[in-house]
């Protein structure tokens, strides 16, 4: 049965189960208090443009369809779990843009068997606003199901900046210093007291899920620090993108990982296909960006496949006076579960520089002196069926990295 609900719904404790469909009118508000659960258990539910869904409680979609429309509609700080049926969001899900700090004690969105579609961004945090994650739970955790998202999935923008000296040489070698103006706002952070307040969970974790979207992560004039993989793609998941997986734009700074054993992106028994764009794109805009990876850029394990299908796609692209410093390796074909892993690319740009098997294309006046690659940047390549090949099969003769411009810098390894 479809009911028109023109009043307010408030769940203060226990579980309120809505097993019939309802057209929740544009004047309606739904509040779910901490300790309460609102369950959509069947039928079709429509939540319109001026509707608000708020509170610290839980929302569960166990059957039927929930259609949510309108930016700013979703104000919930509890977890929304889609265990059956479907959640369809027309527009953005979480939008924080009114001088607000919004705190989430756990995951924002969990797919646990149902399907999720968000036509816009899943999380957007605008300048002077903050999302605080109090746990090590992934902000979005997708288990099984089929899911689609707009671009970028996570969009972080700041405004405050400060000058930072980046040391790219031996201790005390001031001639190797690079000075950049970088964003200092932390749109998404952990709950510890800043400046030691990294995000301690992944932005996105998948397990056996099918996921499609554009860009996944974009950081613009802001600082993001994260200790776990930003993207953790596990257990037979397939991810298909039409944009860069990670983009740093216009004075952005990203510090990823917790040490040499960590990785910024992890594929385990899964695949990521990027039809347009690169895995990681670090660009300047009006000022260079800075990517500091404390471990490996990407780790592949248990027959995982990274496919960069665009003719202009790279594992790493650096431009606009940006700096990339990777302490570990560019690609880790993991020593544990490190068999049958593949990186496939379509670009045919012959490298201007090859170090440790990493082909680097130099464009826009870039010189070989702007690139330093040490150690074994492609760990495990050539063993146990771990390969880099052309997307059509056969030998790959293109470039893994592009460095563009006379002031971009790349350092990989120690």
Which pLDDT score, from 0 to 100, does residue 70 have? 64
Q: What secondary structure does DSSP assign to 128-173, as a single string?
A: T-EEEE-SSS-SEEEESSEEEE-S-SEEEE---EEEEEEE-SSTT-
Let me know if residue 361 belongs to a domain: yes
Let me know if residue 113 belongs to a domain: no
Let me know if residue 69 belongs to a domain: no
Q: How far apart are CA 204 and CA 229, in angstroms?
A: 9
Within 8 A by CB and 6+ apart from 26, the residues are: 48, 49, 50, 51
Range of the domain at 306: 156-412
Q: How far apart are CA 173 and CA 384, in angstroms?
A: 40
Per-residue pLDDT of the chain (414 residues; tens, 9 = 90+): 344 455 688 999 999 999 877 776 554 788 999 999 999 999 998 887 777 889 999 999 999 999 988 655 788 999 999 999 999 999 899 999 878 999 999 999 999 999 999 999 999 999 999 999 999 999 999 999 999 999 999 999 999 999 999 988 764 444 578 999 999 999 999 999 999 899 999 999 999 999 999 999 999 999 999 999 999 999 999 999 999 999 999 999 999 999 999 999 999 999 999 999 999 999 987 789 999 999 999 999 999 999 999 999 999 999 999 999 999 999 999 866 678 999 999 999 999 999 999 999 999 999 999 999 999 999 999 999 999 999 999 999 999 999 999 999 999 998
Question: For residue 193, with 0-12 CB atoms within 10 Å meaning exposed, 13-18 middle and 19 or more buried, which class applies?
Answer: exposed
Q: What are the backbone dihedrals phi and psi of residue 199, each rounded to the nearest 5 degrees, phi first?
A: -70, 130
Let me know if residue 302 belongs to a domain: yes
Which pLDDT score, from 0 to 100, does residue 32 have? 95
Q: How far apart are CA 181 and CA 153, in angstroms?
A: 26
Let me know if residue 52 belongs to a domain: no
Which pLDDT score, from 0 to 100, does residue 174 have? 44
Let me know if residue 44 belongs to a domain: no
Which pLDDT score, from 0 to 100, does residue 123 have? 96
Let me know if residue 212 belongs to a domain: yes
Let me know if residue 101 belongs to a domain: no
Which pLDDT score, from 0 to 100, does residue 3 have? 46
- How many structural domains comprise the chain? 1
Which pLDDT score, from 0 to 100, does residue 165 have? 94
Which pLDDT score, from 0 to 100, does residue 103 have? 96
pTM of the entire predicted model: 0.94
């Amino acid at each position: 049965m479809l009911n028109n609900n023109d009043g307010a719904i408030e769940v203060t404790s226990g579980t309120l189960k809505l097993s019939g469909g309802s057209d929740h009118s544009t004047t309606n508000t739904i509040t779910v208090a901490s300790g309460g659960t609102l369950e959509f258990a069947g039928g079709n539910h429509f939540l319109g443009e001026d509707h608000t869904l708020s509170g610290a409680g839980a929302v569960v979609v166990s059957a039927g369809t929930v259609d949510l429309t309108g930016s700013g509609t979703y104000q919930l700080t509890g977890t929304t779990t889609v265990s059956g049926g479907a959640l369809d969001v027309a527009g953005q899900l979480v939008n924080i843009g009114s001088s607000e700090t919004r705190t989430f004690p756990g995951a924002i969105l969990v797919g646990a068997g149902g399907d999720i579609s968000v036509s816009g961004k899943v999380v957007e945090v605008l300048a002077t606003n903050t999302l605080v994650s109090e746990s090590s739970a992934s902000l979005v955790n997708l288990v099984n199901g089929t899911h689609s998202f707009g671009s970028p999935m996570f969009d972080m923008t700041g405004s405050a900046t400060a000058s930072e000296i980046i040391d790219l040489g031996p201790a005390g070698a001031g001639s190797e210093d690079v000075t950049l103006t970088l964003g200092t706002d932390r749109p998404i952070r952990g709950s510890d007291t800043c400046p030691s307040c990294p995000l301690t969970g992944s932005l996105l974790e998948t397990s056996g899920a099918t996921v499609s979207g554009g860009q996944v992560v974009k950081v613009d004039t802001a600082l993001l620090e994260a200790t776990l993989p930003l993207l953790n793609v596990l257990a037979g998941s397939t991810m298909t993108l039409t944009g860069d997986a990670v983009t740093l734009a216009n004075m952005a700074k990203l510090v990823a990982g917790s040490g040499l054993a960590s990785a910024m992106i992890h594929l385990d028994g899964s695949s990521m296909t990027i039809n347009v764009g690169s895995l990681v794109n670090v660009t300047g805009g009006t000022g260079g960006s800075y990517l500091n990876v404390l471990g490996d850029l990407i780790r592949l394990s248990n027959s995982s496949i990274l496919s960069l299908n665009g003719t202009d796609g790279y594992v790493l692209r650096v431009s606009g006076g940006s700096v990339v410093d990777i302490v570990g390796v560019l690609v880790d074909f993991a020593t544990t579960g490190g068999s049958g892993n593949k990186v496939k690319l379509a670009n045919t740009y012959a490298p201007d520089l090859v170090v440790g098997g990493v082909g680097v294309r130099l464009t826009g006046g870039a010189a070989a002196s702007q690139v330093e690659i040490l150690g074994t940047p492609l760990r495990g390549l050539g063993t146990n069926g771990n390969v880099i090949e052309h997307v059509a099969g056969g030998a790959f003769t293109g470039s893994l990295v592009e460095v563009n411009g006379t002031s971009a810098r790349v350092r990989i390894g120690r």
